[in-house]
Structure 1
Amino acid sequence: MRSTDTTRPPAASLGRTPRRRTPGPAGLLLLATPLLAAGCLLGACSGRVTPTRPAAPAPQTRATPSPAGTGTAGPAKRRHLVAQAVVPEITWFATPDTDAPRGQLANPNREGVPLVFAVEERWARWLLVQLPVRPNGSRGWLRAEDTRVTETPYDLQVDRSTHRLTVLRDGAVIARLPVGIGTGGTPTPSGRFYLTELLRPADPNGPWGPYAFGLSGFSDVITQFNGANGIIGLHGTNRPDLVGTDASHGCIRLRNADIEKLAGILPIGTPISIRG
């Protein structure tokens, strides 16, 4: 497929490679080892999951609404709250303090990964979260007692116009990496999303590379793909020459060395913004 941009800026080093760690009680980073179906979008993935790395404990619950992304450990730090479901089925509501549910999601999901949600507001008994459902940008209220809240210091920012992924930790840039994005006919959607799962393809030299993160967002134009619903992914590639161009069905492609490093440091639930 012909690309629209042949510039491929050099990647900054992340300084570490993936390591397996024993999970703690607040573990959130989970790894599946599926046989990925053919195609770019990750909704067709399936597999068995094993935990790999914990996220840090979250601050104490507050009795009044508060923004979820404002840390208290110093002016330069920015932490993001993540809620992991601890019940077999998570129910969300349009407003807090109501008995009328708007929807449910099975926990774990069909890849066997426990459900996680990016938290936007934290009340004493309720959490306002981003939902991994269509349409993009969906939000709902969860009962706090149905979740365990942790936090992530990481934040991802994708600029489609420059084909760059910026990785931040506690608000400080630690890497800028080249990425491939969707074509004009199958664009990578813009918006604020989060990482929902980490998958390991059976063939590390295949089209997804050695690792693939699932996002909470969906393609704006593809609603069915290999029997799935068009989930967007962040993954490696067997075509590194196309990184830095518009070449995918909507997923975000990284060089394999870069996705390996990200798989070693990013907790599930890490936010990702796509713009440009």
Structure 2
Amino acid sequence: MPDNKPPGVTLSIDIANQFLTLATQSGDIIARYPVSTGLNGPGQADGSGCTPVGKHFVRARIGAGQPLNTVYRGRRPTGEIYSQSLAAANPGRDWILTRILWLCGCEWGRNRGPGVDTFRRFIYIHGTPDSEPMGVARSHGCIRMRNTDIVELFDRVPAGTPVSIY
């Protein structure tokens, strides 16, 4: 009996060039998106504000069916929809919007385990205000995307999807 499951996909995040690639397991590129990674560059340490490198996977998918620009705190929708007036009332807030792909490291001592754990550092691929630049490292360690791009990606990526950050 044939398996009707769609072919698996992988994600790769290129920190130097600030883009995310969605590809088939065999390497065929499906889509490429501009992103914004950690302002402090690549790095593993807790509290560093750096984007962790190495092999990861999507541990959790959060936000299916939520409206564009839904605001999250602690991975839960706040009931707010991002707007310029909300931003003006909350200066300096790190906006996590629309969808969240929560990452987990696969390499003990590198991106998993004490002091370096990607999952415990709450590293996500998530939406950000459209006023934020893409192609420029500006995040607190997460991988930021345009809201329409994260919705498209979210709909194509199941939990367990391999993610390579380099």
TM over 0.5: yes
Tell me: CA distance 1:261–1:199, structure 2 relative to 1, closer, same or farther (3 Å).
same
Which AA in structure 2 matches 1:211? R
In the alignment, the residues of structure 1 paired with residue 165 and residue 147 of structure 2 have an alpha-carbon distance, to the nearest angstrom, of 20
Partner of 1:265: 156
What is the aligned counterpart of 1:196 among 54, 59, 81?
A: 59
> Alpha-carbon deviations, 1:181-237, whole Å to 9, x = none?
0122521011010001111242453812210110003699x87xxxx9312100000
1:3-82 correspondence to structure 2 within 5 Å: 56=5
% identity of equivalent residues: 31
In the alignment, the residues of structure 2 paired with residue 229 and residue 173 of structure 1 have an alpha-carbon distance, to the nearest angstrom, of 30
Which AA in structure 1 matches 2:82? N
Partner of 2:125: 234
Tell me: CA distance 1:219–1:231, structure 2 relative to 1, closer, same or farther (3 Å).
farther
What is the aligned counterpart of 1:214 among 102, 108, 111?
A: 102
Which AA in structure 2 matches 1:210? T
Per the alignment, in what secondary structure is the counterpart of residue 231 of structure 1?
coil
In the alignment, the residues of structure 2 paired with residue 247 and residue 154 of structure 1 have an alpha-carbon distance, to the nearest angstrom, of 27
What is the aligned counterpart of 1:186 among 35, 45, 49?
A: 49
1:161 partnered with 2:52: no
> Alpha-carbon deviations, 1:110-140, whole Å to 9, x = none?
xxxxxxxxxxxxxxxxxxxxxxxxxxxxxxx
Q: Which has the higher contact order (CA 8 A, sep 6+)?
A: 2
Partner of 1:82: none
Per the alignment, in what secondary structure is the counterpart of residue 11 of structure 2?
strand
After superposition, the CA RMSD in angstroms is: 2.8
Partner of 2:138: 247
Larger radius of gyration: 1
1:205 partnered with 2:90: no
Tell me: CA distance 1:263–1:204, structure 2 relative to 1, closer, same or farther (3 Å).
farther
Which AA in structure 2 matches 1:254? M
1:78-93 correspondence to structure 2 within 5 Å: none
In the alignment, the residues of structure 2 paired with residue 240 and residue 255 of structure 1 have an alpha-carbon distance, to the nearest angstrom, of 9
Report if aligned partners of 2:130, 2:147 keep a CA contact under 8 Å in 1: no
What is the aligned counterpart of 2:31 among 172, 175, 190?
A: 175
The structure where strand makes up a greater share of residues is: 1
What number of residue pairs does the alignment pair up? Answer: 123
In the alignment, the residues of structure 2 paired with residue 214 and residue 167 of structure 1 have an alpha-carbon distance, to the nearest angstrom, of 16
Structure 2: gaps (5+ residues): 41-47, 64-71, 84-94, 106-110
Structure 1: gaps (5+ residues): 1-54, 57-150
In the alignment, the residues of structure 2 paired with residue 204 and residue 267 of structure 1 have an alpha-carbon distance, to the nearest angstrom, of 25
> Alpha-carbon deviations, 1:13-63, whole Å to 9, x = none?
xxxxxxxxxxxxxxxxxxxxxxxxxxxxxxxxxxxxxxxxxx93xxxxxxx
In the alignment, the residues of structure 2 paired with residue 214 and residue 194 of structure 1 have an alpha-carbon distance, to the nearest angstrom, of 8
Per the alignment, in what secondary structure is the counterpart of residue 241 of structure 1?
coil
In the alignment, the residues of structure 2 paired with residue 191 and residue 158 of structure 1 have an alpha-carbon distance, to the nearest angstrom, of 10
Tell me: CA distance 1:204–1:267, structure 2 relative to 1, closer, same or farther (3 Å).
farther
Which AA in structure 2 matches 1:153? G
